[in-house]
Amino acid sequence: MEAQIKVKRFNPENESESFFQDYSIDVAEDSTILDGLIKIREELDGTLALRCSCRASICGSCSMKVNGSAKLVCKTRIKEVSLEGEPVIVEPMSNFPVIKDLVTEMDLFWSKVKSVDPYVKTNFEPEAEHIVSNESMTHLLGVMNCIMCGACVSECTALEVDPTFTGPAALAKAYRFVADPRDEDKKNRLGKLNENTGVWDCSRCLACVEVCPKDVAPMERIVKMRDLAIEEGYTNTSGYRHTESFSDSIKKHGRLDETRLALESTGLLNISGLIDLAVIGIKSLFKGKIPPPLPHKPKEADKVTSIARRLDSQETEE
């Protein structure tokens, strides 16, 4: 089978801009993209830099962007992404500094993982093996499947805007210990994760869930930790205020009151935050993007508010 692979190249020694290079290779019908890249390096171009190891979807080192989406190239077959023989576009992961070609720098990734204290914390020395229930550990199996490939980080839209965001991989790892019944530092962990750059900075775009090769579902873990933080009493955050304002707006108006949402999320006593918000508001006004001061009443708003209130009462009962 003839395969066309277009690789994004970058050589820091030349201090040049990145560019795409086309390769045409003959591969077996069931070849993976990694098989193709290795064949290119061994037979066509020995200067091509890439990272791989196990070739069995275990080590996570071969995560790259394929046709614009992060994937493990060792488990992605060429024919899966090139149905009609069209070129397969391979690039290094996004949100990572590129070292050379398809190899990215992972130091910041690991520093974020370390920042969540990825180990069980206890205040005692157990006299025997600390046995927990099967149910509690079965619940953690999904997040424990994470192989630290970085695919979720590559696709994270929040990290594109704010590189200080802890990120989906590290936050999913944090949940693994927050939910571990042996860990005795749950409240402090949630307090730290509740701060800026933590769980409330996730935009809930679902991109991390879609690209995860192990079905870890980082966004779902992040959202759960928001709920857990609220249960622990961590409510003095813009994220919590945003959630409450959004919910109240729907229950009252049947639609989102954007002006109220911005003010209440910032905090009416947060003077510096309100000043920053005013600057944004002025810029938005000149761009014609300012929302109306009073929300209009949509059609059948009563039905929307009724549904919202009913859901709210159900959650309260639970």
What residue type is assigned to position 257 of the chain? D
Question: Topology of 107-231 in CATH?
Answer: Fumarate Reductase Iron-sulfur Protein; Chain B, domain 2 (1.10.1060)
CATH superfamily of 2-104: Beta-grasp domain (3.10.20.30)
Q: Residue 316 has what pLDDT?
A: 64
pTM assigned to the model: 0.86
- Cβ atoms of 260 and 294 closer than 8 Å: no
- Cβ atoms of 74 and 55 closer than 8 Å: yes
- Cβ atoms of 204 and 156 closer than 8 Å: no
- Cβ atoms of 245 and 261 closer than 8 Å: yes
Q: Taking residues 265-283, report their average pLDDT.
A: 86
Least confident of 57-61, 118-122, 242-246, 257-261: 257-261
E strands of 208-282, at which residues?
Answer: none
What residue type is assigned to position 157 of the chain? T
The tokens for 87 are 């070129």
| Average pLDDT of the chain to the nearest whole number | 91
Q: Residue 315 has what pLDDT?
A: 67
The answer to whether residue 298 scores a pLDDT higher than 80 is no
pLDDT > 70 in the chain, percent: 98
Q: Residue 136 has what pLDDT?
A: 85
Cα gap 165→229, rounded to integer Å: 18
Choose between 115 and 124: higher pLDDT: 115
Cα gap 286→275, rounded to integer Å: 17
Q: Residue 256 has what pLDDT?
A: 84
Q: Residue 238 has what pLDDT?
A: 86
Residue 200's Cβ-side half-sphere holds a number of Cα atoms within 13 Å equal to 22
Cα gap 188→192, rounded to integer Å: 6
Give per-residue pLDDT as tens, 38-74: 999 999 999 999 999 999 999 999 999 999 999 999 9
Q: Taking residues 110-133, report their average pLDDT.
A: 89
Residue-range domain boundaries for the chain: 2-104, 107-231, 238-317
Give per-residue pLDDT as tens, 16-47: 789 999 999 999 999 999 999 999 999 999 99
